[in-house]
Structure formats: structure tokens, C-alpha cells
Amino acid sequence: MKHYNIRVTGHVQGIGFRYSARSVARYYNIKGFVRNEPDGSVYLEAEGNEADLKEFIEWCKTGPGGGWIDDTIVSEGPVRNFNAFEVRFI
């Protein structure tokens, strides 16, 4: 089990990124959350096995379409044992 913190920058809000991320995370059995940030980025925390996380992170680098990705910053963090993947609001 691994945990990654992911920040995606670019035109990533208002394009369905969070709800698409939730669908993709569920497909790969990823647990965690996604939320829009005040600076216009999207922040995710994702937990799962290494292979599934790799696929999920690759998806984060392209997103759902309708916008564009400038950067995807990934860092490892402590496992938090999420029960599901959810959309969160600030």
C-alpha cells in the first residue's frame, strides 16, 4: 500500500476533473480524495497498490479533456487508510 499527494495545475477546474478522477480512481481501486484549490489547481490524495497508482497518476497527467495540464506534482506521504475515493469541497 502506497500513498501519494498529487497537485495538478493548468486549466483543471470547471472541466469535470474531480468527478472524472473519482471514476478513474474507483476503476483502479484507489482510495482517497480530490478537491479544487483556491489557486486554481486540483489536489488529490491517493492510496492503493503501486501498479494501480501508477496508472492513476498517468491519467492525472492528461485529465478528462476540455482543459489542459501544465504540471503534475507527485510526492509520497504516509498511508491514511481511506475507505473510499471522494470529491471534497473546501
Per-residue pLDDT of 2-18, as tens digits, reads: 999 999 999 999 999 99
Alpha carbon distance 3, 80 (integer Å): 8
| Distance (Å) of CA 32 to CA 24, 44, 61, 66, 67 | 12, 7, 18, 24, 23
Catalytic residues: 18, 36
- pLDDT tens per residue, range 23-75: 999 999 999 999 999 999 999 999 999 999 999 999 999 999 899 999 999 99
Alpha carbon distance 4, 49 (integer Å): 11
Nearest one of 56, 55, 12 to 45, comparing CA atoms:
56
How do the domains of the chain map onto residue ranges? 2-80
Is the pTM of the predicted complex or chain greater than 0.95? yes
CATH number of 2-80: 3.30.70.100
Amino acid making up residue 79: V
Alpha carbon distance 77, 90 (integer Å): 21
